[in-house]
Amino acid sequence: MNQYQAIIIGFGKAGKTLAATLAKADWKVAIIEQSNTMYGGTCINIGCIPTKTLVHDAEMQHDFAAAMQRKTDVVRFLRDKNFHNLAGLDNVDVIEGRAEFVDNHTVRVIQATGTRELRGEKIFINTGAQSTMPDIKGLSSTPGVFDSTGLLNLAQRPQRLGILGGGYIGVEFASMFANFGSKVTIFEAAPLFLPREDRDVADAIARILRDKGVELILNANVHSVSSQDGAVQIQMPEETHSVDALLIASGRKPATEALQLKNAGVDVNDRGGIIVNRYLRTSADNIWAMGDVTGGLQFTYISLDDFRIVRDSLLGDGLRNTGDRQNVPYSVFMTPPLSRVGMSEEQARASGAEVQVVTLPVTAIPRARVMDDTRGMLKAVVDVNTQRILGVSLLCVDSHEMINIVKTVMDAGLPYTVLRDQIFTHPSMSESLNDLFALVK
């Protein structure tokens, strides 16, 4: 049986970064990945990188087939680079196979040629998340139904694309495929579109999508899916829709089912997420969990921060923990992108703070005129008494870059006036923060 100081299950952001760091500290490390198409993790292979590459090419109105090929080339390059970054280290063994626990120190790896067992002093789980499948008749057996991974590998653009689920993944794919020229219909079971966003922001997003030709159906009670004449039939009580492809965008859940966690004494919640403390330790003292598998925020940068916490526990002073995180931003890469940090207006008012809300139309921003995209709005919520920024929503070109500036100011506890009076380059989208916060009285 092979002995290691650290066994890492999963080649995601936290796992691969931890493997390299421990190896450089002279630890003997094994990193297990069940698929050679997933070196580098979800983001590189089936998440952020391929989708954002396609978003870019769709915005540039590139040919669909050419865009798909470029996406494939980008992914292959980064996957190969990630593999060799670890495989090239003397004290790291990269092992392909499906891992399951025998006990809290022993991992069985199931491979095409048989099984092998590894023993580790410390074990780190970074297996990510997987798509969920709603309980709808015919959904899992109908040709032309895809999860996001399958849709990213289409050879031909669907003329008509249906999307089951109007959340952030659904919105991003809807915007992308509409830009490629597909007729897109979103089927959202809930009565509200993007319920985590304020209504004015969600309504602005809906207008942008509809202006692209996207049909948005709320309260969509899809009861069955079937195939007819090569098309996917989506049956609802009062109508049937026919599409060439249907994307299941109903969310993702922690990928823990095959790990046999009970054998290691690792507890999970009702959604299969591994339960961890603030230092990412599980209920087994020598096992940690990082990234999407804990059931928290599913962002690559959270996985990276999880690595920092574990690194500090192993090689530092052991003080860093999840409670240190402030104001985690997120971006939805529709066109134009939505980015938000902090509280929504609704959350801020519910907190009991005395707030002022200001909004700025993108039409007022010179740089947006230069870039020929004046769609969207900027919105900020400020605490009147402390002058602190409680939250910001940016629906505009380059919002994914601008939001990081806002986060830095919020984390530093600085007043909104810092952004109101900051000197920015011109013409830039960032300088619109001058104008937005100048509206605060």
Numbered residues of the known binding site for NAD(+): 165-172, 188, 251
Catalytic residue, candidates 62, 84, 400, 426: 426
Nearest in space to 287 (alpha carbons), one of 106, 432, 164, 135: 106
CA-to-CA separations, 302 to 49, 118, 276, 299, in angstroms, rounded: 16, 28, 14, 5
Q: How far apart are CA 30 and CA 221, in angstroms?
A: 47
Q: How far apart are CA 293 and CA 130, in angstroms?
A: 9
Task: For residue 388, give every residue at least 6 positions away whose Cβ sits within 8 Å of its Cβ, in sequence order, or none.
Answer: 382, 410, 413, 414, 415, 416
Cβ-contact 298, 292 below 8 angstroms: yes
For strand 287-289 and strand 114-125, is the pairing parallel, antiparallel, or unpaired?
Answer: parallel
Q: How far apart are CA 157 and CA 352, in angstroms?
A: 49
Nearest in space to 227 (alpha carbons), one of 211, 238, 210, 243: 243
What is the length of the chain? Answer: 441
Numbered residues of the known binding site: 52, 165-172, 188, 251, 292
The answer to whether 84 is a known catalytic residue is no
Numbered residues of the known binding site for FAD: 52, 292
Active site residues: 426
